[in-house]
């Protein structure tokens, strides 16, 4: 099976590349790492930060490289008070918190022709829960909100949490989800918590990025082992 593994930053895929032998293909102002792993062909990339970049990379992985499923690995800020730095969360659904045409009477996160929330693949979510049970990991699930801004304000954090009932916030998941839904490709979005998306989040993010990203990447590779 051809499996895409996407992160936003180099730190989010580096733990995978350390364990694999791969070839590199340059395309669309990016690099794609192609590796054979346990009867699968892995297409690995980091998109660069933001919804546009992640949409482009996800589309290339599917349309050019033929990815049959897409797994996203990375970090996020916590909105749910039960989530702490280092916890791992997968998205049951995703929403764009910065999409706003409310001036025309529509809800936040909506534009004509798309749903506000994109739901992730039920079978991949179930697989993730199986992996977590085998590893003895407390895997959580919830709604992830994405937008082209790093959230480090308590006011913005509370607004996103209340408006979308979201549990975590980041900058790529919802756009990747929309690409996958539009192209009919099952997807799974995993995030390790690196900060609490409020005052001082930028300092927590820098401190915990590498460790949290490794936790997420290691879990994704365990999922590939079971596909």
- Tell me the C-alpha to C-alpha distance, in Å, between residue 117 and each of 93, 99, 138, 177, 202: 6, 12, 25, 9, 27
Q: Distance between CA atoms of 65 and 76, rounded to whole angstroms?
A: 27
Number of helical (H) and strand (E) elements in the chain, helices listed first: 6, 10
Domain ranges across the chain: 2-225
Per-residue pLDDT of the chain (227 residues; tens, 9 = 90+): 999 999 998 888 888 999 899 999 999 999 999 999 999 999 999 999 999 999 999 999 999 999 999 999 988 999 999 998 889 999 999 999 999 999 999 999 999 999 999 999 999 999 999 999 998 999 999 999 999 998 888 899 999 999 999 999 999 999 999 999 999 999 999 998 877 655 444 445 555 666 777 777 889 989 999 99
* Contact present, 190 and 72 (Cβ < 8 Å): yes
From the list 12, 170, 196, 204, the catalytic residue is 12
From the list 121, 172, 195, 196, the catalytic residue is 195
Q: How far apart, in Å, do the first and last CA atoms of the chain sit?
A: 9
pTM: 0.93
Q: Distance between CA atoms of 49 and 187, rounded to whole angstroms?
A: 19
12 is an active site residue: yes
Secondary-structure class of domain 2-225 per CATH: alpha beta
């Amino acid at each position: 099976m051809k499996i895409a593994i996407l992160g936003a930053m180099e730190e989010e895929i580096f733990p995978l590349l350390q364990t694999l032998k791969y070839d590199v293909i340059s395309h669309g102002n990016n690099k794609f790492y192609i590796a054979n792993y346990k009867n699968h062909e892995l297409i690995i990339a980091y998109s660069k930060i933001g919804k546009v970049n992640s949409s482009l990379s996800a589309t290339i992985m599917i349309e050019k490289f033929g990815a049959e499923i897409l797994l996203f690995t990375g970090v996020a800020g916590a909105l749910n008070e039960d989530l702490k730095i280092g916890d791992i969360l997968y998205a049951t659904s995703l929403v764009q918190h910065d999409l706003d045409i409310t001036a025309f009477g529509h809800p936040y996160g909506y534009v004509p022709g798309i749903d506000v929330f994109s739901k992730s693949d039920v079978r991949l979510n179930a697989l993730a829960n199986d992996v977590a049970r085998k590893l003895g990991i407390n895997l959580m699930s919830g709604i992830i909100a994405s937008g082209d801004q790093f959230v480090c304000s308590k006011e913005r954090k509370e607004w996103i949490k209340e408006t979308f009932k979201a549990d975590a916030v980041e900058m790529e998941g919802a756009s990747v989800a929309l690409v996958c839904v539009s192209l009919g490709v099952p997807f799974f979005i995993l995030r390790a918590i690196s900060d609490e998306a409020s005052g001082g989040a930028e300092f927590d993010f820098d401190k915990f990025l590498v460790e949290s990203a490794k936790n997420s990447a290691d879990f994704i590779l365990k999922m590939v082992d079971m596909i």
